[in-house]
Amino acid sequence: MSVVLSVQNLIKHFPIAGSRSVVQAVNNVSFSVSRGETLALVGESGSGKTTVGRCILGLIDPTGGEITFQGNRIDKRNNVRSRHLRGKIQLVFQEPAESLDPRIRIGVTIGEPLRSLGSAREDRDKQVREMARRVGLEEEALYQYPAELSAGQQQRVGIARAIITDPELIVLDEPTSALDPTARSEVIDLLITLQKELDTAYLFISHDLSTVRYLSHRVAVMYLGMIVEQGSSQDIFSRPRHPYSIGLLSSVLLPNPRLERHSEVSLQGEIPSPIDLPNGCFLASRCPFVEAQCSERMPDADDIGSGHLVHCFKHRDVIDDEKGTLDYYERFQAEAEKLLSSGQQ
């Protein structure tokens, strides 16, 4: 697969007014996304996921590092506003209602990106109707205003607006977090279908691990602005190796509260301030596996096979292989089905 997006050693610091200090929002983040692939950026709120997406889109300028899209560097003079890149990188917002102009009809909203590309009115109208059909909107919705649609329909409008320019990359910033479970499931299935049809690359920013497990091909786990673990979705969910990744997965609710987890890491203590980050591993003050070197220097990325990268000195001791897989979704699916079939609540 050809690489669509490459991010190398991305850094973003925000200066604090009236002070020499800075908020270290993103710290040496590197990853790539290929055509037809979904890479998920996951982590707690404030981990830097959205800031990475905004840097890629050119909405904010990086402090350091390099972002390339199809071999072209993204910077102040070359970004999504540039004529030759316009429409090639698109964004689907977290809050569908807030991303749509309440005074503009849906059909005009979907076709708006085509105006900047110089598309003729007749061609735009035809493409808008086709896009509405592809995302599951009735034609009469094109003449309505955003307030007349449900949240799920509004997000379909946002997706239609993003794909109408046939982009190479779509940044999806928490696109399902504002939706109810039914609408969330429908939007996820729609995104998967569209990706298969269009062979588009997705950068999926989310904290919803259930959605990430279902939608993504690869996962990058972020903590305090850096990627602590990166690998295939199967590897990250079946056998995570970084203590933070395991702690994150431990927060997933299980279908039966009486079920016991095979392995669990308890992260205790305060999260370090992004204004004054420690010299060593950012997780050292909260990690049960910490040793002296963890507080002295940041561990390098260790490739443990098949591109599974882990920034941790103790990752090989984190999991007892005899205790089996940590894939909570697959491991407990059978138990959940048993409970449902037996009528237990």
Which of helix, strand or coil describes residue 234?
helix
What pLDDT was estimated at residue 322? Answer: 39
Specify whether the CB–CB gap between 195 and 39 falls below 8 A: no
Q: How far apart are CA 250 and CA 217, in angstroms?
A: 21
Strand partners, 6: 32, 68
Q: Which of 14-28, 53-67, 229-243, 312-326 is predicted least confidently?
A: 312-326
Output helix, strand, coil percentages for the chain, rounded to the nearest 5: 35, 20, 45
- The whole-number pLDDT of residue 72 equals 86
Which residues, at least 6 apart from 276, have a Cβ–Cβ distance to it below 8 Å? 21
Token pair for residue 89? 């990188």
Tokens of 93: 């917002």
Would the pLDDT of 344 be above 80?
A: no
Nearest to 168 by CA among 75, 56, 65: 56
Amino acid at 324: G
226-270 pLDDT, tens digit per residue, is 999 999 998 888 888 898 988 888 776 655 555 555 556 678 888
Q: In this predicted structure, which of 23-27, 51-55, 225-229, 333-337 has the lowest mean pLDDT?
A: 333-337
Domain ranges of the chain: 3-216, 221-342
Q: CB within 8 A of 43, min separation 6: which ones?
A: 49, 207, 221, 222, 223, 248
What order of strands is seen across the sheet that includes strand 3-15? Answer: 22-34, 3-15, 64-69, 72-73
Q: Under CATH, to which class is 221-342 assigned?
A: alpha beta
Asked, colleague to colleague, whether 3-216 and 221-342 share their fold, the answer is yes
Specify the pLDDT at position 325: 43
Element (H, E) at 67: strand 64-69
**How much is the average pLDDT of 141-148?**
96
Tell me which range, 16-30, 79-93, 118-132, is most confidently predicted by mean pLDDT: 16-30
- With vertex at residue 208, the alpha carbon angle to CA 206 and CA 213, rounded to the nearest 5 degrees, is 95
Predicted local confidence at residue 337, as pLDDT? 57
Residue 1 scores a pLDDT above 80: no
pLDDT for res 345: 45
What is the structure's pLDDT at 336?
A: 52
What DSSP designation does 121 have? H
Residue 312 in this model has a pLDDT that exceeds 80: yes
DSSP assignments along 17-38, one per residue:
TTSS-EEEEEEEEEEEEETT-E
- Fold that domain 3-216 belongs to in CATH: Rossmann fold (3.40.50)
User: Across the strands, what pairs with 34?
Assistant: 3
102-111, 178-187, 287-296, 334-343: the lowest-pLDDT one = 334-343
Q: Are strands 38-42 and 64-69 parallel, antiparallel or unpaired?
A: unpaired
Q: Check residue 254 and report its DSSP letter.
A: P
pLDDT at 332 over 70: no
Closest CA to 194 of 167, 228, 232: 167
| 3-state DSSP assignment of residue 42 | strand
What pLDDT does residue 265 have?
67
Crossing angle (nearest 10°) for helices 151-163 and 181-198? 10
Phi then psi dihedrals of residue 147, to 5 deg: -65, -15
- Higher-confidence residue of 52 and 240: namely 52
How far is 133 from 139, CA to CA, in rounded Å? 7
Query: What does the pLDDT look like over 76-107, one tens digit per residue?
Result: 777 777 777 888 999 999 888 898 999 999 99
User: Which has the higher per-residue pLDDT, 32 or 95?
Assistant: 32
**pLDDT the model gives residue 324:** 43
Cα–Cα nearest to 280, from 304, 312, 240: 312
Q: Write down the pLDDT at residue 323.
A: 45
Span 155-199, pLDDT tens digits: 999 999 999 999 999 999 999 988 898 999 999 999 999 999 999
Percent pLDDT > 70 in the chain is 87
